[in-house]
Amino acid sequence: MTTSYLARARDLAEQIDRHGIAVGENPVSEDSIRLLRDAELFAVMTPREVGGLELPLADILDICAEVSRADPSTGWCHMAVVVSVAYFGAYTDKATVERMFARGVPLVAGQFAPNGLGVREGDNYRVSGDYQFGSGVLFSDYIGLGMVTDDAEPQMVGSCVPKEQVKFSGNWDVMGLQSTASVDYSIRDAVVPAGATFDILTPEVHRGGDVYRLGILPLTAIGHAGFSLGVARRALDEALRIATAGKHRMGHGSKLSDSDHFLLAITHAESRFRAANAWLHQMVARAEDSVRDGGAVDNVLCNELRQATVFLSRESADIVRECYLHSGTAALREGPLARCFRDVHASTQHFFAGQAGTLDMGRDLLAAATLATDAE
C-alpha cells in the first residue's frame, strides 16, 4: 500500500540523490536531513502518543527502502534514526519523553551495544563508555549508548545523552558507507536517569501499539532490511538504464541490451530480488499480526524475520555485484551504481547481516524437527 509518507519519500528521491552525489565522501548532506525531517520521515516508527506517526511496519520498511534507493548513505542514517528514536518513544518513562519530545520528535542515533558501565547513584546512573559505528550521530540531537549496570543484578540497558555530552573521534575511514560519517565516540561521567533506560533484550512498553512488544532486534531488522531493499532496487534500475542507453562493452559483439547473457543475468537478479522482498514483507506482516490484540511475542517468528533480513542483505550484495559486473566502466566511474556497490558491501559487515539470526533460526528448525520425530 502506498501511503502519503511513502509518496513523500519518493518525491524527495531526486533531491536526496543529487545531494548524495554532491557530498562525495563527506558526511551526509544537511540539506537531505532537513528534507527528511520536514517531511516527518524520521518519525515513521515513533509512537503517536509522543508525536510520531506509528505507521504499519510494512510502510516503514518501504519508506526506508525508498530513502536508501535515493542514496544509500542517507538511507543508512535515516533508518538508524528511525529505529533509535522509536525506542525512546516506546520504552522510557514519562519524564524522559516529556523532556526529549517537548519540541517534536528528536533525532537520536548511536550504538546500543553494552560498551559502557553504569554506576548507580540513587535514581540515576553515571555512565562512561567508548562506542563505535555512530551512524547519524553528527546530525542527531541525542546520542545513544548501551551499558551494563553495577546493580546487585546487573542489567544490559540502552539510553542516550544530549549531543553536547559526547566526544566524537572523527575517524570514519572506510571503503563504503563513507558519507554516513559513522564515527567512534566516547562518553565520560554522564548522568542518565534510570527512567531513561530500557532493557536491550526485553524492553518494557510504556506507550504505543502492540508492535513495540516485538522488541529491539525485530524492529531494528526492519530498518536494515529496508536499506538492503532500496540499494538492490537502485542497482537493478541503474543496470537497466545503462543497457537502454546503448552501452556497448569493448570486446563484446553486441550492445548490452541485445546480449542474451545480460538479459539472463538481469532477470535472474530481478527474480532473486523479488523473492527476498516477498519473504521479507511476508515476515513483517506475520510479525505485526502475531502481536495484534495482545498476542504473545513469538520468538520463533521473530527469528525468521531476522533471518529474512540476513538473507536479503546477502542477496542484495550479490545482486548489486551482478549489476556492477555487467555494466562495465559505466559502473566503475563515480555514480549511483558505484555508490551502491561500495555501500551494500559495507552493510554486510553489520550485526544484522551476520549469522547470529541464521543460527537462531537454525536452532528453531532443529527443535521443530526433533519434536516432529518424537511425535511419530
Domain 108-199 classified CATH 3.40.718.10?
Answer: no
Please give the Cα distance from 282 to 33 (Å, whole number).
30
Q: Write the DSSP assignment of 77-134 as a string of letters.
A: HHHHHHHHHHHHHHHS-HHHHHHHTTTSPPPEEE--SS-EEEEEETTEEEEEEEE---
Mean pLDDT of 61-73: 98
Please give the Cα distance from 173 to 326 (Å, whole number).
28
Helices 356-375, 299-326: inter-axial angle, 10-degree rounding: 130
Give the three cell numbers for residue 90: 516506546
State the CB neighbour count (10 A cutoff) for residue 152. 6
% of the chain exceeding 70 in pLDDT: 97
> pLDDT category, 255, cuts 50, 70, 90?
confident
Instruction: Assess contact for 316 and 288: CB atoms under 8 A.
Output: no
Number of separate helices (H) and strands (E) present in the chain: 11, 8
Which amino acid is residue 42, in one-letter code?
F
Which amino acid is residue 69, in one-letter code?
R
Per-domain boundaries in the chain: 4-100, 108-199, 210-369
- Which helix or strand (DSSP H or E) is residue 73 part of? helix 72-91
Domain with residues 210-369, CATH architecture: Up-down Bundle (1.20)
Say what the pTM is.
0.95
DSSP 154: -
Give the three cell numbers for residue 147: 551499558
Give the three cell numbers for residue 99: 523532556
Please give the Cα distance from 83 to 220 (Å, whole number).
6
Mean pLDDT of 135-154: 96
Predicted confidence at residue 1, as pLDDT, reads 44
Give the three cell numbers for residue 269: 537478479
Q: What does the mean pLDDT of the chain come to?
A: 94
Indicate whether 60 pLDDT > 80: yes
Mean pLDDT of 318-344: 90
Mean pLDDT of 350-371: 94
Query: In terms of residues, how long is the chain?
Result: 376
Domain with residues 4-100, CATH architecture: Orthogonal Bundle (1.10)
Indicate whether 228 pLDDT > 80: yes
Alpha helices (H) along 172-259: 216-244
Q: What is the pLDDT of residues 102-120, one digit of tens each?
A: 999 999 999 999 999 999 9
Lowest mean pLDDT among 92-101, 131-140, 237-246, 264-273: 237-246
Mean pLDDT of 46-69: 98
